[in-house]
Every structure is written in structure tokens, then in C-alpha cells.
């Protein structure tokens, strides 16, 4: 059942944008490690949602799931691009980052080290639960897996992180 086009769909999307943006930003930050990139990724996800609404429409069942799947795809694309393209500041200065951003990025690096070595599907469930503030039912809907699978990925991922943390 296609619902979103002009009118109701835009009001629903505007409300969702306001409610989900902070959690999506946090999720993207922990995927990308950079606040500016995270803001761009979240904006891209919302733009894609509105473009799809204007075109073929969206089903009303799980707009939040669509947004998080889109955001996850945007993040993965940006990470792939970053692996191929390396930039160096032309003036050699790197001290233009605000202190709060530095703290967030340092936290990202610490968390990324813990996620290294665990399967992506487990890391994704953990990110969605902690940084996206999603329930296991919502995570299952977003990822298209049963709730029990989402829960087991979460538990196994945390076990691996705990073991790795003890080794550090």
C-alpha cells in the first residue's frame, strides 16, 4: 500500500525528520567518525526519502526502517569512498576542529577499535541499539531479520567486545 506522496506523507516525514534526526546523527557519527560527514550522511538520507516520496512513493509500514537502511547504505558508501580517496589539508593545519568534535571523534576511534574484528552484522545491531536507540523489534524490521536473530547478534557481538576489552 503506497501512501507517501504530497500532503499527509510530507507531514509524516517532517515529523519523523524532527524526531529521528538526533539519533540518526549519533548513529552516523559512530559509523563515520566525523561530525561533518555524519551530518552530510543524515541529510543525504532525508533527501533520498523526500525524492522517493516525490517519485514512486513509499510504503507507510516502516518509514523509520527505510531511513535507517538508507543511512546505513550512505555510511557504507562514504566509508568505501574514503578508503579510495585520501585527502591532505593543503595548509597542513589540523587544529581547526572544535574541542567537542575532537572528543566525539576520539570516542569514535575507541569504539571502532572495539568493533574491529567482530562481524559487521553484529556491530550493526549494537550500533542501532545503542546509538540509534532502537528496540530489537525495530532493528529486526530495519535489517529484515527475525527478532531472535537481532537479539543473538547483539549478544554475540557484545561477548566478543567484552573478550577483546579484557585483552586490552
- The pLDDT of residue 93 is 43
Report which secondary-structure segment, H or E, holds 32: helix 8-32
Helix/strand/coil percent split, the chain, to 5: 75, 5, 25
Is there a domain that residue 94 lies in? no
CATH code, 161: 1.20.140
Structural domain includes residue 127: yes
Query: Does the pTM of the predicted model rise above 0.85?
Result: no
* 139 φ, ψ (degrees, to nearest 5): -65, -45
When divided into structural domains, the chain yields a total of 1
**Amino acid 11: pLDDT:** 74
Distance in Å from the first CA to the final CA of the chain: 51
79 belongs to a structural domain: yes
Q: Residue 42: inside a domain, yes or no?
A: yes
Q: Is residue 17 part of a domain?
A: yes
In a domain, 110, yes or no: yes
Q: Extract the residue ranges of the chain whose pLDDT is less than 70.
A: 1-10, 56-61, 83-105, 168
Three-state DSSP state, 90 = coil
**Residue 95 within any structural domain of the chain:** no
Residues 6+ apart with CB under 8 A from 131: 23, 26, 27, 29, 30
Does any domain span residue 85? Answer: yes
What is the per-residue pLDDT across 104-137, written as a single tens digit (0 to 9) for each? Answer: 667 777 777 778 878 989 988 998 898 888 899 9
pLDDT at 60: 56
| C-beta neighbour count of 27 within 10 angstroms | 26
Burial of 20 (0-12, 13-18, 19+ CB in 10 A): buried
Q: Residue 123's domain spans which residues?
A: 2-89+100-167
Please tell me the predicted confidence (pLDDT) of residue 168: 63
Amino acid at each position: 500500500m503506497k501512501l507517501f506522496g504530497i500532503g499527509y506523507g510530507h507531514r509524516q516525514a517532517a515529523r519523523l525528520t524532527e524526531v529521528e534526526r538526533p539519533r540518526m546523527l549519533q548513529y552516523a557519527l559512530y559509523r563515520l567518525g566525523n561530525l561533518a560527514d555524519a551530518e552530510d550522511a543524515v541529510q543525504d538520507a532525508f533527501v533520498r526519502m523526500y525524492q522517493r516520496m516525490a517519485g514512486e512513493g513509499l510504503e507507510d509500514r516502516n518509514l523509520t526502517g527505510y531511513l535507517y537502511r538508507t543511512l546505513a547504505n550512505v555510511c557504507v558508501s562514504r566509508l568505501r569512498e574514503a578508503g579510495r580517496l585520501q585527502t591532505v589539508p593543503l595548509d597542513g593545519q589540523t587544529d581547526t576542529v572544535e574541542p567537542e568534535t575532537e572528543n566525539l571523534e576520539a570516542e569514535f576511534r575507541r569504539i571502532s577499535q572495539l568493533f574491529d574484528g567482530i562481524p559487521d552484522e553484529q556491530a550493526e545491531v549494537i550500533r542501532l541499539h545503542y546509538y540509534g536507540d532502537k528496540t530489537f523489534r525495530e532493528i529486526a524490521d530495519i535489517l529484515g531479520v527475525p527478532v531472535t536473530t537481532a537479539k543473538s547478534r547483539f549478544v554475540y557481538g557484545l561477548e566478543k567486545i567484552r573478550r577483546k576489552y579484557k585483552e586490552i
